Structure 1
């Protein structure tokens, strides 16, 4: 699956690549439209790339979809690994490079410093800036649809998706978010999981969100609590805070997804199912999949009755960014 090319190193400085730059194709096109794939990269292949961000050398993997055409603006999905995990392990977990589920979208797997992400207590690395620099680089290299930049992740990586959704700049650049088994730390104690104030500086009031969490998650408890000298809000409180933030009200539509699984959907006129939580009462700290994966093969775990990956891809397909900045 990996290309034979050596990792490339580039220096990303503010202003070299502009997010607003567009090719003659359309306003939604990135500046990489029309450029040939770099030497050694292939359709359907994965390449490791290094850039400099915040004075640090950073790394990410890029999956080029097998259907990619250099003049066609193409969706890009960011997928963030869990704590103590790696970009490669996230690629092997999320199935977003599987031809069964995805043949049409770029997938970028950023690597956290010390396998961790901003938002986790004690982490001081500016991963928000890394994400912005990474997007600048990738949009300058490939034909990326600026209206279809999406983000997902697992555990600490899912928590970082929340950090991005709550960032004034990145919340206007990333169209939709799908965190899985997320750790949504709030830097405060004592911890009141059902009432803790959750800070957020999102610059959009219509951020599409599809979250997943298991009722038997023994790592990031569904009901929240103190962890790493910080407070994890209960997942119901966290999703209700997002619904309130987007003026969706407290009422939700509850629908079955599969055995032991429901989805809570918050909507408003003209924007159905904008904020959503998929709750599997028996799932643990897993990326939900009906097939064996690195999560559900652990002791005490098992495949779920549904697959998160096609649900995420379907959600992303329905929620492009409606206004470019």
Structure 2
């Protein structure tokens, strides 16, 4: 892993990517691109929705929704005059009459959907919780895929790819096809995808209930959300791609957190809400919306306890993020 980080650093001086168990260039042992037509594949497992997944009763806005098979469906839509792609994962036991949470999962620079599914294991994690997760595909006008998060990354940024509008159009399409709880739409991302999560909290706050970013800081200024947004940020102190205290492509971690503390009108007091080994999470709770920072002492540019090490570590990022989401629906 350390060798792959150094290999990618030259590429990522002004753009970010990488992850635990996956090299910086976004390759894994098995990788494919989402098809441009909608197709479905069944998912394994049994049982119904997990805790906090469904909204309980039926909802009038879901009347007429068709049942959907569990598993993955690759979808293409038109957004800002271009074809954009994403993969929807539906949990076993999905009921088209009961609203469920939607998690937007944003891969890092140079990565693809398959990479991020492997790193996060989000499909397996949401299956236990009865949530739907969507994996959008970053645009690569030139070179490798990335997101326009503001000051980063790659040709998506330099050519001003309208990724926020893509997110709006994608959510609208998913709401057409699935019974989504409008108060529980969340954004999570790694590296460049984490940066876009922060941007969505700034520019799509009327729909995004909360965000969970890993190793990707704020890359846009100004940030003027329409409402206070709960923010969870996870970052390693030894990250050399998006450095904790000396970032080139975006804000530092302290700058990012200080910005959200100010926007959410937090009191300066914070409390430790999680501590295990190298991981410590501090919460600003006296706010209009919670702000939480999880610091991994000595942690690199990675998704904690992800990839081939899923579930093994001081902080299991995928589970911790979804716990945060379940605790922070839209008011």
- Describe how 1:13-92 pairs up with structure 2 within 5 A: 25-26=58-59, 31-37=61-67, 42-43=69-70, 45-92=71-118
Contact 1:67 1:103 in 2 (8 A): no
Tell me, what secondary structure is at the counterpart of 2:193?
A: helix
Matched, 1:305 2:331: no
The equivalent of 1:178 in structure 2 is 212
Tell me, what secondary structure is at the counterpart of 1:72?
A: coil
Contact 1:8 1:49 in 2 (8 A): yes
TM-score normalised by length of structure 2:
0.76
Matched, 1:283 2:317: no
Going by fraction, where is helix more abundant, 1 or 2? 2
Matched, 1:199 2:217: no
Instruction: Sort the Cα spacing of 1:159 and 1:33 in 2 relative to 1 into closer, same or farther, 3 A.
Output: farther
| Unaligned segments of structure 2, at least 5 residues | 1-31, 40-56
Instruction: Sort the Cα spacing of 1:99 and 1:256 in 2 relative to 1 into closer, same or farther, 3 A.
Output: closer
Contact 2:119 2:307 in 1 (8 A): no
Deviations 1:67-106 (A, max 9, x none): 2101000111000000000122111211211158634000
Selected match of 2:238 from 203, 216, 221: 216
User: How many residue pairs end up in the alignment?
Assistant: 271
Selected match of 2:119 from 90, 93, 105: 93
CA–CA distance in 1 between the matches of 2:176 and 2:183? 15
The equivalent of 1:264 in structure 2 is 282
CA–CA distance in 1 between the matches of 2:252 and 2:79? 33
Selected match of 2:248 from 214, 219, 226: 226
Deviations 1:116-156 (A, max 9, x none): 11122424110111000001100011111111111101000
| Unaligned segments of structure 1, at least 5 residues | 10-23, 187-197, 297-302
Of structures 1 and 2, the one with the larger relative CO (CA 8 A, separation 6+) is 2
Contact 1:66 1:103 in 2 (8 A): no
Tell me, what secondary structure is at the counterpart of 2:166?
A: helix
Instruction: Sort the Cα spacing of 1:33 and 1:73 in 2 relative to 1 into closer, same or farther, 3 A.
Output: farther
TM-score normalised by length of structure 1:
0.77
Shift of 1:184: 2.6
